[in-house]
Amino acid sequence: MKSAVIPQVRVEPELRAELESVLRKGETLTDFVEATVRSAIAFRRVQTAFHERAQAASVEYHRSGIAAPVEVVLERLQDKLDVKRTKLGR
């Protein structure tokens, strides 16, 4: 498959200078833009999946009237956070 070009974006010189000031050693503007676009795509996918799960949960709640108590939800979230912190060594 042939590669494609992302459309050029015109920016103010100040933004271009700011962008260039954060490039890592050996990193090109193209590298940065590609990595940023990939990150934005991944974020949008996670965001979309979150909204879909939230919508499904809302529909299920309105259908059944059954919901988890806030204490249970917060406890589960805290457990997940604790596991993640342990994995990261914090």
Tokens linked to 1: 């498959």
Q: How far is CA 19 from the centre of its chain?
A: 20
Please state the domain count of the chain. 1
The pLDDT value recorded for residue 90 is: 74
Q: Is residue 36 part of a domain?
A: yes
Report how far residue 39's alpha carbon sits from residue 36's, in angstroms, rounded to the nearest whole number. 5
Q: Is residue 7 part of a domain?
A: no
- The pLDDT averaged over each successive group of 10 residues in the chain (90 residues) is 90 97 96 97 98 97 95 97 93
Q: Is residue 56 part of a domain?
A: yes
Q: Is residue 2 part of a domain?
A: no
Contacts for 9 with CB less than 8 Å, ≥ 6 apart: none
Q: Is residue 38 part of a domain?
A: yes
By residue range, what is the domain housing residue 57?
13-88
Q: Is residue 4 part of a domain?
A: no
The pLDDT value recorded for residue 1 is: 80
The pLDDT value recorded for residue 88 is: 94
